[in-house]
Amino acid sequence: MLFDEISVSKSLLLIIYINLFLIIIMKICIPSFNRYETIQDKSIKVLLNAGYKPNEIDIFVANEEQLIKYREKIDKDISIIVAIKGLKEVREFIFNYYDEGEKLLCLDDDIEVVRELYKNEDGKSRLRPIQNLKEIVDKGFDLCEKHSLKLWGLYPTPNNAFFMDSQKEITYDYKFIIGNFFGCINCKDMNKLLVPDMDDYERSIRSYLLYGGSIRFNHIAPKTKFKKNTGGAQDSDRENRLSQSKEIMLNTYPELLFMKKRKTDTNPILK
């Protein structure tokens, strides 16, 4: 009888340990299309330089042909998962691939650097590469848990230290969380989106509707040359997807955003 009780206790401890291990572990996921020549020297390099291991990274590609091309170019210990083509489709695939409640660091495949705000000797605001990226990532998830939120991210404008300096260092309310570098505690409801593009806008809105806001580090920003880089979401149909996405969001969330006119188009602004 005593032996049986000891065996049961050990089994329960093992189950508890496994569950705690699963909760603690974070996965890094990068959807990528036709950027097998550059991803190793951009987003992957940023992660490795920050101290992450190759086996912590999952790359999601469109098909078997893409898998072969990526496998030839990137670190052999990085997982490559065949998903599906399309921005909305691959995002849905990724969030369904992982379990509810898993911690996910999600980033685009063309991140060049993550920079932080600082004051130089003359007191002016400047930007420099961040040295403690892993600490910021951990802090993002810690703050989410502390404030019962599921989404955190960085400042969306990467080249304007003045604007960044005018913001509180960390905010917790209704803010736009840019999709090129963000973390989430996987919530399939929050990530179940209607738009074919601009998913970061709708995710920010749904985070607010479901949880009351999100965490944003306003003195840290990722840098990328999104519109200049080939591959990724830059295809001939993107303008149509953007137009559809704006219409869907205006019809679905009319009280939560508006469209600001620019020289050649409009840009969503969260109210």
H runs (alpha helix) in 33-172: 43-50, 64-73, 87-97, 133-146, 161-165
* Residues 113-154 pLDDT 10s: 999 999 988 889 999 999 999 999 999 999 999 999 999 999
CA 179 – CA 64 distance, rounded (Å) = 25
Q: Which amino acid is at 98?
A: Y
- Residue-level pLDDT at 82: 98
Specify the pLDDT at position 78: 98
On the 0-12 / 13-18 / 19+ scale of CB atoms within 10 A, 262 is: exposed
Please list, in sequence order, all residues whose beta carbon lies within 8 angstroms of the beta carbon of residue 138, skipping any fewer than 6 positions away. Answer: none
Q: Which two tokens stand for residue 34?
A: 């036709």
Model confidence band, residue 23 (pLDDT cutoffs 50, 70, 90): very low
How buried is 59 (Cβ within 10 angstroms: 0-12 exposed, 13-18 middle, 19+ buried)?
buried
Mean local confidence (pLDDT), 5-22: 52
Predicted confidence at residue 248, as pLDDT, reads 97
User: By C-alpha distance, which of 114, 104, 109 is closest to 38?
Assistant: 109
- Tens digits of residue pLDDT in 71-114: 999 999 999 999 999 988 999 999 999 999 999 999 999 999 99
pLDDT in tens, 160-214: 899 999 999 999 999 999 999 999 999 999 999 999 999 999 999 999 999 999 9
CA 258/CA 131 separation, integer angstroms: 36
Q: Does 55 have pLDDT greater than 60?
A: yes
